[in-house]
Amino acid sequence: MPLPENKPIIVVENLSARFGSNIVFEGVSFQVNKGEILVVVGESGCGKSTLLKIMIGLQKPFSGKVLFRGTDIISAGEDEINNYRQNIGVLFQSSALFSSMRLSENIALPLQEYTDLDSAMINMIIKMKLGMVNLAGYENHYPAELSGGMKKRAGIARAMALDPTVLFFDELSAGLDPVTAVELDDLIIKTNEALGTTMVIVTHELESICKIAHRVVMLDKTAKGIIAEGDPQELKEKSTDPRVRSFFLRQLPDADYRDGAYGK
């Protein structure tokens, strides 16, 4: 894949998240460069989905900033938040399609909410977006009539309805068979290369990570923060941190790590 521009479009500064007295993570800082596919990885319970929800404005952090083109969305006013929402697209783990609506109606929602386009233009965009995810002709189908992979692709079509600057995906391949997961990976790469869309993806699927990611940020539940950042292949082959090697090589940590010698 071509390397993205080394120019940040999102900057996360000293972010902390808590639920009551439970610290999910703290002091998290990184940037998302324009045109890159950044994948957030780590074991279950490390805060990946919480981080994503904060970055898309669905959850408030305990402290810290999320800057989109210099504007902090955490403290932003309503107009700035609406502008941000028009610049991002989101695909949740369950696809979050409205079961009572046809695909055309699902995809039309953000267009009706944030634009003044007439119905003819909206219908044209719907057909174009469904064609991009290989669902041409499925405008009148309901989500229940689709396979798991087709629902994911329909969710991507809706996320791309407004031609967003940044796409956020939460566990894109969760629950899918290997063949369908590979097809989705190929779609992600194709979309990134063709449109230059910046993507932030939460996943634990190792094959997908190594295939699609320009860069990864790795969270750790015990450290309550970032323990690694960089090219996934380099981290897999060169990292000396047993937690990183354990994740990428799918091996149990050595005895010293299990006994708590690392990460203190």
Task: Write the pLDDT tens digit of every residue in 104-143.
Answer: 999 999 999 889 999 999 999 999 999 999 999 999 999 9
- Domain presence at residue 178: no
Which is nearest to 199 in space by CA: 28, 58, 42, 10? Answer: 10
- Domain presence at residue 226: yes
Mean pLDDT for the chain overall: 89
Which residues, in sequence order, are bridge partners of residue 33?
8
With a CB cutoff of 8 Å and minimum separation 6, the contacts of 32 are 8, 9, 10, 11, 12, 38, 166, 198, 200
pLDDT confidence of residue 136: 93
Other beta carbons within 10 Å of 20 = 5
Which residues, in sequence order, are bridge partners of residue 230?
216
pTM over 0.85: yes
Total domains present in the chain: 1
Residues 250 and 77: their CA atoms lie apart, in Å, by 44
- Domain presence at residue 155: no
**What is the phi-psi region of residue 237: left when phi exceeds 0, alpha when psi lies from -120 to 50, beta otherwise?**
alpha
The CATH number of the domain holding residue 232 is 3.40.50.300
Residue with tokens 């990976």: 185
Amino acid at 101: M
- Domain presence at residue 67: yes
- Domain presence at residue 31: yes
- Domain presence at residue 17: yes
Other beta carbons within 10 Å of 133 = 22
With a CB cutoff of 8 Å and minimum separation 6, the contacts of 210 are 232, 233, 236
**Structure-block tokens of residue 24:** 């999910």
- Domain presence at residue 52: yes
Main-chain dihedrals φ then ψ at residue 189, nearest 5 degrees: -65, -45
Q: Which domain holds residue 234?
A: 1-87+166-172+197-264
pLDDT in tens, 54-102: 999 999 999 999 999 999 999 999 899 989 989 999 988 777 889 999 9
pLDDT in tens, 189-227: 999 998 999 999 998 888 889 999 999 999 999 999 999
Residues 221 and 24: their CA atoms lie apart, in Å, by 8
- Domain presence at residue 26: yes
